[in-house]
Amino acid sequence: MKTILSAEQMDLSIQRLAHQMLENNQDLENTVIIGLQPRGIFLSDRIVAALKSIVPQQKIQYGRLDITFYRDDVRNSLHIANTTDIPFSIEGKSVILIDDVLYTGRTIRAALDALLDFGRPAKVSLCVLIDRRFSRELPIQPDFAGKAIDTIITDKVKVNWKEKDEKDEVVLV
């Protein structure tokens, strides 16, 4: 097991990602942030908290999206859905999807399909903590990435969150 990001490095990456989002989305009034269930919400919760501390005067529209039944592998096993909570319209808005790890791109494809049930956004951006660069099965790339890593197919990237796993770290198993 090899540590990719320590707790301190995760915090720095999250702050940097929040600042990059502000640089690219000056007006958060027309921007919505959507965390992907289940594990992307830990990152999105922290990014939203960072944004609120940087620009406390701006209202941040934040939702959570479950993509369970939009996945192309849902037929192969039993899945238990998480909750979707998007209490606003995404029609004509700039949407930032947030997930913890970008691997094959299939989760993001499913998220794009699910997102269309809530309207047609003007733009969709992707933010991830870890980008496994050379593992894509679909032509999907992040707009914001905490760290890009090169892995082989047998490697597993595990993002541990204090809220769920008792400590913050990203490890390669």
Q: Domains in the chain and their CATH numbers? A: 2-70+83-172 (3.40.50.2020)
pLDDT at 79: 62
| 98 close to 111: Cβ distance less than 8 angstroms | no
pLDDT at 91: 96
The whole-chain average pLDDT of the chain stands at: 93
Cα gap 146→168, rounded to integer Å: 14
pLDDT at 83: 84
CA torsion angle 122 127 131 135 (round to 10): -30
pLDDT at 50: 98
C-alpha 120, offset from chain centre: 19
- Integer CA distances (angstroms), 103 to 110, 149, 163, in order: 13, 10, 23
Query: What is the Cα gyration radius of the chain?
Result: 16
Task: Tell me which residue has tokens 């942030």.
Answer: 33
Predicted structure pTM score: 0.93
Low-confidence ranges of the chain (pLDDT < 50): none
Task: Tell me which residue has tokens 């979707």.
Answer: 84
pLDDT at 70: 84
Could you tell me which residues come within 8 angstroms of residue 139 by beta carbon, excluding any fewer than 6 positions away? 105
Cα gap 135→5, rounded to integer Å: 19
- Integer CA distances (angstroms), 50 to 13, 18, 53, 56, in order: 11, 6, 5, 10
pLDDT (tens digit, 9 = 90+) per residue, 126-158? 999 999 998 999 999 999 999 999 998 899 999
